[in-house]
Amino acid sequence: MRVVAQSVHPRSPGKILDIGCGDGSFLIAARARGWNVYGTELNLDGLSDPQLAVVSTIGDAQQFAPFDCITLWHSLEHFVDPRQAIHDLHPLLAPHGTLIVAVPNAYGFQARLFGTHWLALDVPRHLTHFSKTSLQLLLTQNGFKPSRLWHHEAEYDIFGWMQSAINLIHKKPNVLFDMLTGRKLTMSILARSTQLLAGALLFTPAFILTVLTTWFRVGGTLLQCSKPVR
């Protein structure tokens, strides 16, 4: 919500659309701050609050437009055709609106260091990866003017360092991530405890590396704000 507050038109809160809203946690937080909230999500059964105005596709969200803010928190990389998704979102934004896109940084130091062991590679769930240049080109080609850019998201970057390092020595990738997100795993208590201990030991160096890579603009995440060009 801090990024939204810093990037959206001063008349906010207003109307916000979250693409790929998951269980709706972000929408619930935005609603608590006075926003009128809407979302899209393929799995509508997973919503924390079934009363949320969530539809299945961007096309279905047109009925609620225009929006003062549209967010894609790590959802664009899941689209089969991200270009079409950005194109379809342009007419849904109000003239003063803001588009916020967060994606893994495929040219960040974390991605280059860990390669196929990088947490955010996540094949085949992630279908497309972006650099700063390719993300901004995608936006400009579809009617947006990129503005403020952040080079990290603390929780994603810190955990990315932790899990990617564990992936180097563990045959099955992203086990700690699966544990913490509630996915079903067949593991002994000892194996689970080992994963948690490794994560705890890696937290401090991961935090330091996140600060350093953010400073040098090679963080693990790109968080790009853009305005529509009419």
Q: How far apart are CA 225 and CA 146, in angstroms?
A: 6
Among 45-49, 52-56, 208-212, which is the least confidently predicted range? 45-49
Range 35-64 average pLDDT: 94
Q: How far apart are CA 31 and CA 28, in angstroms?
A: 5
SS3 state of residue 183: coil
Range 42-67 average pLDDT: 93
Rg of the chain over all Cα atoms, to the nearest angstrom: 18
> Domains of the chain by range and CATH?
2-153+219-228 (3.40.50.150)
- Reported confidence tier of residue 9, pLDDT bands at 50, 70, 90: low
